[in-house]
């Protein structure tokens, strides 16, 4: 997927900061080790001189092959002595090297392969993380946890409409959501949360998001109206550098809140269905929250869309009285 230049610059900056941090830490270790073992620094100079000697042999000409063999043997001998010296003092050669976050590219974002410069996966991941952060910048992702979801606001009385009390129903839903978050992977299933307003759908979906983010996955939370507005803006814009549409599809977990509250148009119907369909095809999990009944969603979208939700997502029906009213 393509990324806006500002996203790429920020991701490259993150890698640069990682690289400089690793190199600065290595330099501090080197100074400390050389201060403790002055002879170690002399070994490093000798090893460096063998490399310079090899370059001079190539320039000078003559019996270059013999000269290089001799220098190689000298270098290997020095390395063994050097490693032994460090080992005696409780160190290893790796203690003098930079401990880069990415061992493939050394936190540069690129590496050489088959005489070509290739973008490293660590840079791609950093760009995805930055893009997710941008999209989630104004959302309440960190405001809800499982710990502050209180079951005491749900009645233990059984309503004739349901086989169990709101307390028991919500207790089971809470357990399910915790399990889902604990076991989350890219192969996790989809969730369809439905029920009246104020029953905790947004709270529990955000609690899932917080736990999934801690595992290192990219999560995007967005109300349906915002998703539609974003997709509509990109669809009719001449600027094709934006990446929000791709991120809705490619993020590890997408949470669509308040489905059915967006202004209903032919574009919104098509955009929501296509987004859901694209994620299903790519095997990426999605959580959908709505205050609407399935019959109402059928009128807003289509029977085909609701049929897919029924077949592809675990339905969690939230019941009870609006918690905000109970709290009063």
| Winning range, highest mean pLDDT, from 16-25, 149-158, 216-225 | 16-25
Q: Convert the pLDDT of each residue in 68-114 to its tens digit.
A: 676 677 778 778 887 888 888 888 888 888 999 999 999 999 999 98
What is the predicted pLDDT for the residue at 262? Answer: 81
The pLDDT assigned to 24 comes to 96
Task: Indicate if the pLDDT at residue 194 is higher than 80.
Answer: yes
Residue 41 scores a pLDDT above 50: yes
Question: Given pLDDT bands bounded at 50, 70 and 90, which one contains residue 241?
Answer: very low
Span 51-59, average pLDDT: 60
Which token pair is 265? 């148009």
| Higher-confidence position of 267 and 188 | 188
User: In the predicted model, what is the mean pLDDT of residues 14-36?
Assistant: 93
Residue 104 phi/psi, 5-degree rounding, is -80, -50
Residue 187 has pLDDT above 60, yes or no: yes
pLDDT surpassing 80 at residue 141: no
Question: 204 and 191 in contact (C-beta within 8 Å)?
Answer: no
Over residues 42-60, mean pLDDT: 67
Query: Does the pLDDT at position 291 exceed 70?
Result: yes
**Single pTM value for the model:** 0.66
Among 191, 207, 173, 170, CA closest to 321? 170
Q: Which domains does the chain have, with CATH numbers?
A: 138-327 (3.40.50.300)
pLDDT > 70: what percent of the chain? 86
């Amino acid at each position: 997927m393509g990324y806006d230049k500002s996203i790429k610059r920020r991701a490259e900056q993150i890698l640069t900061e990682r690289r400089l941090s690793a190199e600065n830490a290595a330099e501090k270790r080197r100074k400390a080790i050389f201060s403790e073992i002055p002879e170690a620094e002399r070994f490093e100079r000798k090893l460096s001189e063998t490399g310079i000697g090899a370059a001079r042999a190539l320039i000078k000409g003559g019996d270059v092959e013999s000269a290089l063999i001799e220098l190689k043997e000298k270098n290997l001998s020095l390395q063994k002595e050097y490693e032994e010296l460090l080992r005696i003092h409780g160190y290893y050669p790796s203690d003098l090297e930079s401990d880069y976050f990415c061992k493939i590219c050394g936190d540069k974002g690129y590496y050489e392969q088959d005489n070509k410069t290739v973008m490293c996966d660590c840079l791609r991941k950093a760009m995805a993380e930055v893009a997710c952060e941008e999209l989630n910048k104004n959302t309440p992702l960190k405001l809800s946890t499982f710990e502050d979801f209180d079951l005491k606001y749900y009645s233990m009385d059984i309503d004739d409409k349901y086989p169990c009390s709101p307390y028991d129903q919500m207790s089971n839903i809470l357990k399910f959501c915790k399990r889902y978050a604990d076991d989350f992977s890219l192969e996790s299933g989809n969730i369809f949360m439905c029920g009246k307003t104020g029953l905790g759908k947004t709270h529990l979906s955000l609690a899932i998001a917080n736990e999934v983010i801690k595992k290192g996955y990219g999560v995007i939370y967005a109300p349906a109206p915002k998703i539609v507005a974003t997709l509509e803006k990109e669809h009719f814009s001449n600027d094709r550098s934006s990446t929000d549409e791709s991120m809705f599809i490619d993020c590890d977990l997408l949470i669509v809140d308040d489905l059915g509250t967006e202004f209903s148009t032919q574009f919104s119907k098509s955009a929501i269905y296509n987004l859901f369909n694209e994620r299903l095809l790519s095997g990426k999990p999605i959580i959908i929250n709505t205050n609407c009944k399935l019959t109402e969603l059928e009128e807003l979208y289509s029977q085909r869309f609701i049929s897919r939700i029924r077949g592809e997502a675990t339905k969690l029906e939230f019941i009870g009285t609006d918690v905000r009213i109970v709290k009063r």
